[in-house]
Structures are given as C-alpha cells and as structure tokens.
A and B are shown apart, each in its own frame.
Chain A
Amino acid sequence: GAGVSQSPSNKVTEKGKDVELRCDPISGHTALYWYRQSLGQGLEFLIYFQGNSAPDKSGLPSDRFSAERTGGSVSTLTIQRTQQEDSAVYLCASSLGGADRVRYGYTFGSGTRLTVV
C-alpha cells in the first residue's frame, strides 16, 4: 500500500483480556518494527523483523508480549492478560533493508491507542 496501515486505531480493553494489534507495512519493505509510545517516555523499541530472519525481540517488556509476521508482510502484536501499564500508543514502522533503510527512511503508521481499564 501507499503507507503503513495499523488497525484498530483505538482499542479499549478490560484488564486481563488479550488484544491483537495489526500492522500492514508498505509493499516491498522487508523490515518491520514495533514501538510503544507512553506519555513522556518517547518511543520504546519492542520488536524488529527483517525478511525471513529470526526477529529481534530484545525490546519486549515481558513474556505477555509477542509478535509474528506472516509471509513477510502483515504483522500482529499480541498482548496477553493486559495490565493498565500496557496503556500506550503502539506504533509500527517499515523500511527497506540494509543501507536502503537509511537512504529511503523508515515510514511510520498512525498507531493504535490502547487503553486498558
């Protein structure tokens, strides 16, 4: 597509429920990134996918968080047993790989605002 698409744009869930957030990257972008944006905390890296390589999960805050990327395209971020501290905006970005990620840049979606009540 023309841009990075994220859905839903807003999600309100009850504490303890599981949620799934979706990211549809730009066609042809081999790299996909998830970030979490909490108030006053900037953007926190969560997970990175590059092609068929094993994902870099070093930023996931707990084992309640997981993500997958199917067919090298769409990605789903899953948060199990949500807690109030999970409330944040979850941003997805995609890019070309290697040096092209710098040359052509990273493109961000509009994010999913998650509220856990």
Chain B
Amino acid sequence: AQSVTQLGSHVSVSEGALVLLRCNYSSSVPPYLFWYVQYPNQGLQLLLKYTSAATLVKGINGFEAEFKKSETSFHLTKPSAHMSDAAEYFCAVTSSGYSTLTFGKGTMLLVSP
C-alpha cells in the first residue's frame, strides 16, 4: 500500500521568507514522488518529481525537494517566497507496482507582504 502525509493543512510565510512544505510517504517498494501546485480554479501543475536518480530535485519557479529514504520524506522548499507562490501544494507517490498516484491532502501556502 502507498500513502502520503502532508503536515500542516495551511502554512503562512512572509514574502522573501523560506518556504518549507512537508511530505512523508509510505511505500513498500521504492517510490516515485511528485509535487504538484494548484492555483484557484485550475488543474494540477507539476512542480518536480523524484524518479530514483538524484535525491535533490530542482523544479520550476525556484522550488526544490530532497528525497530522504531514511526519513521517508520528500519536503518541498524554496529559499524566498513570492506572492505568486500562494496556492495549494500536493505531494503524491507512485511506484512500479502501482499505476495511479496517491495524493496527500494538500497544504495551502499563504504568502503575506
């Protein structure tokens, strides 16, 4: 079975501050991990993905995530938040034994000026 836990349904940061969104996964086989962003009334846009190559993955809009097997984590970070980063972020997992993505419940990122 697969599962994803995203700690914090809402995270608030000030513009220019570090963004850290947490994701922990559970998978009985090596996972593939994804971060998606959803802006209001839009679909999901892929930010980045881990596919068993480099453990530090860089994505779009300055985001990056590090796969830590020992901690079963794939936290998303950005050094300096921008107002345009305000959105909902979803972490998801799949593996070679599954075809579908299993999502966490999402974290709403709020950015204040």
Chain B interface category by residue count? 20 to 34
Task: Please name all residues of chain A whose beta carbon is closer than 8 Å to the beta carbon of B45 when the two chains form the complex.
Answer: 108
Q: Is residue A31 contacting chain B, with contact meaning CB distance below 8 A?
A: yes
Q: Are B105 and A40 in contact, with the CB atoms below 8 A?
A: yes
A103 to B52, CA, bound (A): 11
The contact of B99 among A40, A41, A42, A56, by CB within 8 Å, is A56
Q: Is residue A48 contacting chain B, with contact meaning CB distance below 8 A?
A: yes
Q: Are A109 and B32 in contact, with the CB atoms below 8 A?
A: no
Q: Is residue B51 contacting chain A, with contact meaning CB distance below 8 A?
A: yes
A106 to B35, CA, bound (A): 11
Task: Please name all residues of chain B whose beta carbon is closer than 8 Å to the beta carbon of A93 when the two chains form the complex.
Answer: 44, 101
A54 to B110, CA, bound (A): 42
Q: Is residue B24 contacting chain A, with contact meaning CB distance below 8 A?
A: no
A108 to B34, CA, bound (A): 13
With an 8 Å Cβ cutoff, the count of chain A residues facing the other chain is 27
Beta-carbon contacts of A14-35 to B below 8 Å, as 1s and 0s?
A: 0000000000000000010101
Task: Please name all residues of chain A whose beta carbon is closer than 8 Å to the beta carbon of B9 when the two chains form the complex.
Answer: 40
Which chain A residues in 98-113 approach chain B with CB under 8 Å?
99, 101-103, 105-111, 113
Task: Please name all residues of chain A whose beta carbon is closer than 8 Å to the beta carbon of B51 when the two chains form the complex.
Answer: 102-103
With a 10 A CB-CB cut-off, give which of B44, B100, B104 has the most chain A CB atoms. Answer: B100
Q: Is residue A43 contacting chain B, with contact meaning CB distance below 8 A?
A: yes
Q: Is residue B102 contacting chain A, with contact meaning CB distance below 8 A?
A: yes
With a 10 A CB-CB cut-off, give which of B32, B44, B106 has the most chain A CB atoms. Answer: B44
**What are 30 A-B pairs with beta-carbon distances under 8 A?**
A4-B43, A31-B99, A40-B105, A41-B105, A42-B103, A42-B104, A42-B105, A42-B106, A43-B44, A45-B100, A45-B101, A48-B100, A56-B100, A59-B100, A91-B43, A91-B44, A102-B94, A103-B51, A105-B34, A105-B46, A105-B49, A106-B34, A106-B46, A106-B101, A108-B36, A108-B44, A109-B43, A110-B42, A110-B43, A113-B41
Given contact pairs A91-B44, A105-B34, A106-B101, enumerate 10 new A-B contacts (beta carbons under 8 Å).
A4-B43, A33-B100, A42-B90, A42-B106, A43-B92, A43-B103, A45-B100, A56-B99, A91-B43, A102-B49
